[in-house]
Structure 1
Amino acid sequence: MKPLAFVTGASSGIGQALAARFHEAGYRLALAARRTGEIEAWAASRGIGAADVQVYGADVAQIDSIVAAGAACIERQGVPEVVIANAGISVGIDTEDRGDLDVLAETLAINNVGLAATFHPFVAAMRARGRGRLVGIASVAAIRGLPGHGAYCASKAGVVAYCESLRGELRASGVKVVTLLPGYVDTPLTRGNRYGMPFLLQPETFADRAFLAIEAGVSYRVIPWQMGVVVKLMRVLPNPLFDLAVQGRGRKKRRTE
């Protein structure tokens, strides 16, 4: 039987591109998102039949919703070889604004708790089988806090730390935890950005490189590699120089803008 990949946030952007790449590689698909109609239309447009794809309606902001989707996947299709927790949001915040505290809470609920809840249904089954790959989609925004990006940067830093912790917990089990840090990818999330996006990738290019990293079971990778160089420089830059470098940088749009 073909291997199975479970992907959240597969209705557009990176998630959809990853689903396409895994299908091309001969995987069956289990795709979870709120907008199930869009996924079903996408699969039909590519001629992907019911034998190769199942769609699960789920909201990663609701723990029981995404856990139920994972349990349904195991019941209907079996235990995946790969689970990709890709669903996430990216919204600017201003801590002075009371309403933006709710945006922060929602971001953490989706990008962090939702990621853990995505993995949850599969951990015991993968451990019992002795193999599998749990993939967390972080961001280069995890490396340093950027003005106006507090919610997104904090959540993606949390993805990196959480996946590192989980990797240690599962090390002896045969289950690998892969953390991917995309740079700038041309998706609906990034098209409204009000700042430069160096080394911008098309979703398909990112998916090709991510697929190779996931198949290899690498623990951590920045894509593209050029952003990896930038990340290393950002890590070692003293605070005064970093603060100067980001002074005047465009902020991410807030929900009210």
Structure 2
Amino acid sequence: MPNDRDPHSPHAWPGVCGLRVLVTGASRGIGQSISASMAAAGATVAVTARDATGLAETVTTIRDSRGRVQSHQADLADTAALPRLVGEATASLGGVPDVVVHAAGAQARGPALEIADEDWDRVLSINLTAPWRLSIEVARAQQAAGRHGSHIFIASMLALTSRPEVSPYIASKTGLLGVVRALSTEWAPSGIRVNGIAPGYIETALTRPLFERPGWREATLARVPMGRFGEVDDIVGPALFLASSASAYMTGQLLTVDGGWTSS
């Protein structure tokens, strides 16, 4: 069964209260849920995404709950614009972000022999290059301000295993695990922690084509030891934990949230 605890309840995670948080991919799915939860826990949140409509819905949801949120529409594939995004987020948050959550993602499905070069480039750009460069910009600002920080990368259980016909996605998410390890080692002396979360199968706009395939849901669910697919709110608790001082001695780690898939 899903978690009984409401991750969006105010001050459910007091260790997050007062933090400044930047969340990408905040217009839908995991990014949207994490944004709302960070705000409910008392953080001031800057949300960003390409989809202006979805981003506006996120902002409305948070403000209706009396959360503090600022919106910045941006295309993360335009990596040259990332320094400006960090500057704008810093201004709107009233200071350098304490936490950055990389939840934006892209997918390209099909046999490896049929994947177009432009699809490979797009997935790697959004899933791997953009979060790496954005974290570089945030960490540069954090170090200049003498602040500690937490960088949270939303990876995938496919960083640890494999499935057919998603080779660009697997390559990008496996690369994120390398980024987590490398940056955590470099930035630990500055008090900047870098960790990742590896969700299992969660029905979102990105995965919906899979869930709609005849027979896929039943066959895949049979391999999940917990007997259910994940929900976006299942990723909220790990994100709040990694953002807060509760994980102060953790860096370079990947928290796998997959119902037991990778251990079975």
Say which of 69, 86, 90 aligns to 1:74.
90
Which digits, 9 at most, give the CA deviation of each residue in 1:193-232, with x for residues without a partner?
14324341211232123312332333324343643xx425
1:168–1:36 distance in 2 versus 1, CA, 3 Å: same
Q: Which residue of 2 aligns with 1:186?
A: 203
Q: 1:119: Cα distance to partner?
A: 1.1
Say which of 231, 237, 249 aligns to 2:262.
231
Whether the 8 Å contact between 2:150 and 2:242 is mirrored in structure 1 is no
CA–CA separation in structure 1 for the residues paired with 2:258 and 2:123: 27
Say which of 20, 27, 36 aligns to 1:11.
27
1:81–1:113 distance in 2 versus 1, CA, 3 Å: same
Say which of 112, 127, 142 aligns to 2:159.
142
CA–CA separation in structure 2 for the residues paired with 1:157 and 1:177: 15
- RMSD over equivalenced CA pairs, Å: 2.2
Between 1:195-204 and 1:179-188, the stretch displaced more is: 195-204
Where do 5+ consecutive residues of structure 2 fail to align? Answer: 1-16
Q: 1:95: Cα distance to partner?
A: 3.2
Q: 1:46: Cα distance to partner?
A: 4.2
Q: What TM-score, normalized to structure 2?
A: 0.79
CA–CA separation in structure 2 for the residues paired with 1:204 and 1:49: 17
Where do 5+ consecutive residues of structure 1 fail to align? Answer: 234-257
Q: Counterpart amino acid of 2:257? A: P
Q: Tell me the secondary structure at the aligned position of residue 196 of structure 2.
A: strand
CA–CA separation in structure 1 for the residues paired with 2:168 and 2:239: 25
Say which of 118, 121, 126 aligns to 1:105.
121
* Residue 207, structure 1, aligned to residue 236, structure 2: yes
1:84–1:146 distance in 2 versus 1, CA, 3 Å: same
Q: What TM-score, normalized to structure 1?
A: 0.81
Q: Which residue of 1 aligns with 2:5?
A: none
Q: Counterpart amino acid of 1:31? A: V
CA–CA separation in structure 2 for the residues paired with 1:94 and 1:226: 27
Say which of 70, 86, 90 aligns to 2:103.
86
CA–CA separation in structure 1 for the residues paired with 2:162 and 2:53: 36
* Percent identity (aligned): 25
1:174–1:192 distance in 2 versus 1, CA, 3 Å: same
* Residue 222, structure 1, aligned to residue 255, structure 2: yes
CA–CA separation in structure 1 for the residues paired with 2:158 and 2:129: 18
Q: Tell me the secondary structure at the aligned position of residue 178 of structure 1.
A: strand
1:214–1:42 distance in 2 versus 1, CA, 3 Å: closer
Q: Counterpart amino acid of 1:231? A: T
1:10-89 matched pairs, under 5 angstroms? 10-48=26-64, 52-77=68-93, 78-89=95-106
Q: Which residue of 2 aligns with 1:250?
A: none
Q: 1:152: Cα distance to partner?
A: 0.6
Q: Which residue of 2 aligns with 1:159?
A: 176
Which digits, 9 at most, give the CA deviation of each residue in 1:60-79, with x for residues without a partner?
11102333211211133211
Which digits, 9 at most, give the CA deviation of each residue in 1:33-83, with x for residues without a partner?
111332223322443599821111111111023332112111332111110
Whether the 8 Å contact between 1:4 and 1:27 is mirrored in structure 2 is yes
Between 1:44-53 and 1:56-65, the stretch displaced more is: 44-53
